[in-house]
Amino acid sequence: MTSDFKLTDSLLHRLAGARHVLVLTGAGMSAESGIPTFRDAQTGMWAKYRPEELATPEAFEANPSRVWEWYEERRRSVCQAQPHAGHVALVQLESLLPSICVVTQNVDGLHQQAGSSDVWELHGNILRSKCHVSHRPISREWLADSTHSPPRSPYVRHGLARPDVVWFGEVLPQTAIDAAMAAASRCDFCFSIGTTSMVQPAASLPLVALEAGAALVEINPHETPLSLHAEQCFRGKASDVLTSIIDQLRACKDT
């Protein structure tokens, strides 16, 4: 454990010389923006709700209105959330290093809102909706005009709108997973930030990076199954650790 968030000299130099950096983020990355995580005891979403009743295709088929309303509530809180200093630090990283690829399990769009330019969403985006039958995108304007909960699909008779997120048991968007795998295979430095590393295939990405010879750093207040593979683990909040790493990288580049 590192208490002052100082990268080892060797890792700082590897980061300063990195050509491709992969940043994998999970719900902990958004926690400081006020969006609850899933698996944290007490505050986590899955401590209050049962995922199989809300985040599966079967749950939606059984009770579309309940699932839609639950996501609408989350959508409203995501709309009010703002990126924090950690998101901004990842944007700043782009001006210090040649290539930063952010792969996120988060569905809130906060990396893009902060200004990160290369972001891949593995689990979709809660701000988008799609037809639950055809999976074609449905516009906010169409939804706003509807009085049904969930709104009807414009494409398929008896079809409904659903959030454009990946539910348990569903396949991830192929383009995103291909891009994430490619980024993991080519990176020379990998950060895993704010994820319990329990959901596949995201959890494997840092291991693919390691296999490819990358340095691995974890940022998470708690130990995870990935911790033992990381060269350095920072037991702190994403914003504190990332802003400190940016300062160290700037100082290193100035010398």
Per CB under 6 A, residues contacting ligand APR are 26-28, 31-32, 37-40, 44, 105, 123, 193-196, 198-199, 219-222, 224, 237-238
Closest CB to ligand APR among residues 153, 220: 220
- The Cα–Cα gap between 195 and 202 comes to 9
φ, ψ of residue 151 to 5 degrees: the values are -60, 155
Q: What is the smallest separation between the CB atom of 9 and ligand APR, expressed in angstroms?
A: 24
| 123 is known as an active-site residue | yes
CA 229 to chain centre: 20
The active-site residue out of 123, 132, 148, 222 is: 123
**Do 110 and 127 touch, CB atoms closer than 8 A?**
no
Token duo for residue 27: 């719900």
- The Cα–Cα gap between 215 and 194 comes to 17
Q: What is the smallest separation between the CB atom of 120 and ligand APR, expressed in angstroms?
A: 13
Closest CB to ligand APR among residues 119, 193: 193
DSSP state of 2: B
Q: What is the smallest separation between the CB atom of 2 and ligand APR, expressed in angstroms?
A: 14
Beta strands per DSSP E along the chain: 21-25, 100-104, 119-121, 124-131, 137-138, 161-165, 189-193, 215-219, 232-234
- The Cα–Cα gap between 72 and 69 comes to 5
Q: What is the smallest separation between the CB atom of 108 and ligand APR, expressed in angstroms?
A: 10
Q: What is the smallest separation between the CB atom of 191 and ligand APR, expressed in angstroms?
A: 11
- The Cα–Cα gap between 81 and 75 comes to 10
Closest CB to ligand APR among residues 187, 241: 241
Closest CB to ligand APR among residues 195, 243: 195
Closest CB to ligand APR among residues 132, 237: 237
Token duo for residue 229: 């593979």
| Omega prior to 51 cis, within 30 of 0 | no
CB burial readout 12-33, b (16+ within 10 A) else e: bebbbebebbbbbbbbbbbbbb
Chain residue at closest Cβ approach to ligand APR: 28
Catalytic residues: 123
